């Protein structure tokens, strides 16, 4: 999401004739587009500001802007201003597009601009973005979230759920496909609750799948309570929808899921998984898991391990629970000691590695259609179910092209293959 916001920021600057510099050292303006979803990202911002302070000392005309959702948190702007008085602009997630104008104002003599205004309107028309030449192209379909999972800061900093008009999303995707895009990833905090009038996520996917061209569509993130059977069946029968579902479960314990306010039980979740397996051949499944949520007992964690072994995900994104100030979980009793969290995540990583290795080894001998996103002897390509295969492109430039690759070996869950002729 943040990568795509940055692409939009590039576009806003380019419209004002301001291009990208090759490094912060060679820039006249430095923009830090922050994210506060994880503690680590926040810490990195502070570290980067330390580096930028030195640049500002040697070039007092350097304009420093900090934007994105970190600034939207209570007292964050105050803290940034106090710790880094050299910052010229602090702005939240809603005013990103106005950043070039703020830069102009600073150039004309304004010392400091703070804009944390909240504007939940969806911009009409095509959402222009300066996309990098990455194979994967992001398209926002909605913003914000209404779910209020108790560990998550997003609803407080990104506002209520609001969807873009279907016609706008469709024309953006058509434009990208016309320009050669082969992989489109639809973005939203909770894509399954997309709604534009009577059009829901199923309607949106149906419309986008009808666009002419050889491309596939992926999306993230799905909330298990909102992923409908109709959408699962549509993915199964519609070739343009990739066979990939990222379905964050977060925990395998009903007790913990309730405390997380996830609004589904383990049984509900597993029913969706069974349906995915039934209707989507060769579905690639991935998930997010938080280890050490407040009050998590050894039994709760064992239930998570059981679920992981039952589902057999291709890949898992595993996180140690970290407090986000302002969320209900941050002040819950029963915070789990760090040492226990670390020990549990190690066990989870080991369990998942074993599964990933087994799933990778059964791919040997199979041929996959991959979208090539690298070049050279170690070119890479992604399959429809989101596996990565490494192969030698033999000097042919296959970047952003579909090719058939036969898997010849698997090492530590990584797949290696050769182009099938
Ligand atoms: S659904 Fe996702 S974005 Fe929304 S509150 Fe829960 S974890 Fe955060």
Here the CATH number for the domain that contains residue 19 is: 3.40.50.12160
CA atoms within 13 A on the CB side of 95: 21
> Residue of the nearest CA to atom 2 in ligand 1?
189
Residue 121 lies in a domain: no
Residue 123 lies in a domain: no
Quote the pLDDT of residue 127: 66
Which of 190, 224, 257, 269 should be mutated for ligand 1, with most atoms under 8 A from CB?
190
Q: How far is CA 249 from CA 121, 308, 338, in A?
A: 30, 10, 22
Q: Dihedral (C-alpha) 385, 386, 392, 395: value to the nearest 10 degrees? A: 100
Give pLDDT tens digits for 406-419: 999 999 889 999 99
Q: Is 155 in the pocket of ligand 1 (CB under 6 A)?
A: yes
Query: Which domain does 39 fall in, by range?
Result: 2-115
**Contact in structure between 291 and 318 (CB atoms under 8 Å):** yes
**291 with 319, same domain?**
yes
Top-confidence residue, 421 or 316: 316
Quote the pLDDT of residue 161: 94
> Residue of the nearest CA to atom 6 in ligand 1?
149
Q: How far is CA 254 from CA 197, 259, 267, 308, in A?
A: 34, 9, 9, 14
CATH number of the domain that 160 lies in?
A: 3.80.30.20
**142 with 275, same domain?**
yes
**Contact in structure between 287 and 248 (CB atoms under 8 Å):** yes
**164 with 103, same domain?**
no
**Contact in structure between 93 and 72 (CB atoms under 8 Å):** yes
Of the candidates 117, 140, 118, 145, the one whose C-alpha atom is nearest the C-alpha of residue 129 is 140
Q: Is 152 in the pocket of ligand 1 (CB under 6 A)?
A: yes
Quote the pLDDT of residue 72: 86
CA of 37 to the centre of ligand 1 (A): 10
Q: Of 84, 115, 146, which one is at a domain's C-terminal end?
A: 115
Q: Is 328 in the pocket of ligand 1 (CB under 6 A)?
A: no
**89 with 152, same domain?**
no
Residue 331 lies in a domain: yes
**287 with 401, same domain?**
no
> Based on the number of CB atoms within 10 Å of its own CB, is 339 exposed (0-12), middle (13-18) or buried (19 or more)?
exposed
Of the candidates 286, 292, 199, 192, the one whose C-alpha atom is nearest the C-alpha of residue 245 is 286
Give pLDDT tens digits for 81-125: 999 999 999 998 888 889 999 999 999 999 999 998 888 887 665
Radius of gyration, CA atoms only, the chain: 23
Percentage of residues of the chain with pLDDT beyond 90: 83
**214 with 297, same domain?**
yes
> Residue of the nearest CA to atom 1 in ligand 1?
147
Quote the pLDDT of residue 138: 93
Question: What ligand 1 atom has the least distance to the C-alpha of 145?
Answer: 4
Most confident option among 90-99, 286-295, 318-327: 286-295
Whether the ω angle into residue 244 lies within 30 degrees of 0, i.e. cis, is: no
**357 with 372, same domain?**
no
Residue 154 lies in a domain: yes
Q: 62: which strand partners? A: none
Of the candidates 134, 97, 130, the one whose C-alpha atom is nearest the C-alpha of residue 10 is 130
**194 with 342, same domain?**
yes
Percentage of residues of the chain with pLDDT beyond 70: 99
Residue 200 lies in a domain: yes
Quote the pLDDT of residue 174: 95
CA of 147 to the centre of ligand 1 (A): 6
CA of 273 to the centre of ligand 1 (A): 20
What is the token pair recorded at 296?
Answer: 């998590």
**Confidence band (pLDDT; 50, 70, 90) for 2?**
confident
CA of 339 to the centre of ligand 1 (A): 26
Q: Is 189 in the pocket of ligand 1 (CB under 6 A)?
A: yes
Q: Of 322, 345, 361, which one is at a domain's C-terminal end?
A: 361
Question: What ligand 1 atom has the least distance to the C-alpha of 155?
Answer: 5
**189 with 228, same domain?**
yes
Q: Per the structure, how many domains does the chain have?
A: 3
Quote the pLDDT of residue 124: 62
Give pLDDT tens digits for 352-406: 999 999 999 999 999 999 999 999 999 999 999 999 999 999 999 999 999 999 9
Residue 128 lies in a domain: no
CATH number of the domain that 390 lies in?
A: 2.40.50
Residue 131 lies in a domain: no
CA of 251 to the centre of ligand 1 (A): 14
Residue 317 lies in a domain: yes
**257 with 340, same domain?**
yes
Q: Of 315, 333, 361, which one is at a domain's C-terminal end?
A: 361
**310 with 252, same domain?**
yes
Of the candidates 225, 224, 266, 226, the one whose C-alpha atom is nearest the C-alpha of residue 246 is 224
**375 with 357, same domain?**
no
CA of 248 to the centre of ligand 1 (A): 10
Give the C-alpha separation, 281 to 28, whole Å. Answer: 51
Q: Is 149 in the pocket of ligand 1 (CB under 6 A)?
A: yes
pTM > 0.85: yes or no: yes
Which of 35, 154, 269, 289 should be mutated for ligand 1, with most atoms under 8 A from CB?
154
CA of 342 to the centre of ligand 1 (A): 23
**With 80 as the cut, is the pLDDT of residue 128 above it?**
no
Which of 2, 69, 145 should be mutated for ligand 1, with most atoms under 8 A from CB?
145
């Amino acid at each position: 999401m943040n990568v795509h916001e940055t692409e939009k920021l590039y576009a806003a600057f380019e419209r004002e004739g301001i291009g990208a510099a090759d490094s912060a050292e060679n820039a006249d303006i430095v923009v830090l587009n922050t994210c506060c979803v994880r503690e680590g990202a926040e810490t990195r911002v502070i570290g980067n500001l330390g580096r930028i302070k030195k640049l500002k000392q040697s070039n007092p005309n350097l304009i420093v802007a900090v934007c994105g959702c970190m600034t939207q948190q209570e007292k964050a702007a105050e803290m940034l201003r106090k710790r880094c008085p050299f910052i010229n602009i602090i702005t939240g997630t809603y005013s990103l597009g106005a950043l070039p104008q703020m830069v102009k104002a600073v150039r004309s003599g304004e010392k400091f601009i703070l804009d944390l205004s909240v504007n939940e309107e969806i911009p009409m028309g095509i959402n222009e973005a300066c996309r990098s030449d990455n194979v994967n192209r992001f398209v926002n379909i909605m913003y914000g979230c209404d779910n209020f999972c108790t560990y998550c800061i997003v609803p407080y900093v990104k506002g209520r759920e609001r969807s873009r008009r279907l016609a706008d999303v469709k024309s953006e995707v058509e434009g990208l496909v016309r320009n050669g895009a082969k992989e489109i990833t639809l973005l939203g905090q909770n894509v399954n609750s997309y709604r534009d009038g009577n059009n829901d996520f199923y309607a949106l996917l149906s419309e986008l799948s009808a666009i002419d061209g050889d491309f596939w569509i992926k999306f993230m993130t799905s909330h298990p309570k909102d992923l409908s059977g109709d959408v699962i069946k549509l993915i199964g029968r519609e070739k343009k929808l990739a066979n990939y579902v990222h379905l964050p479960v977060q925990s395998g314990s009903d007790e913990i899921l309730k405390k997380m306010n996830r609004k589904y039980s383990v049984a509900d979740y597993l029913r969706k998984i069974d349906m995915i397996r039934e209707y989507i051949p060769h579905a690639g499944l991935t998930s997010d898991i938080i280890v050490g949520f407040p009050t998590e007992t050894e039994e709760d964690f064992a239930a998570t391990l059981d679920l992981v072994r039952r589902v057999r995900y291709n890949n898992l994104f595993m996180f140690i629970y970290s407090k986000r100030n302002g969320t209900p979980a941050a002040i819950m009793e029963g915070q789990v000691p760090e040492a226990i969290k670390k020990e549990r995540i190690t066990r989870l990583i080991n369990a998942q590695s074993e599964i990933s290795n087994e799933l990778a080894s059964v791919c040997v001998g199979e041929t996959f259609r991959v979208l090539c996103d690298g070049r050279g002897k170690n070119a890479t390509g992604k399959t429809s179910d989101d596996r990565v295969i490494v192969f030698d492109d033999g000097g042919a430039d296959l970047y952003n092209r579909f090719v058939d690759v036969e898997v010849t070996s698997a090492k530590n869950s990584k797949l290696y293959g050769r182009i099938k002729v």
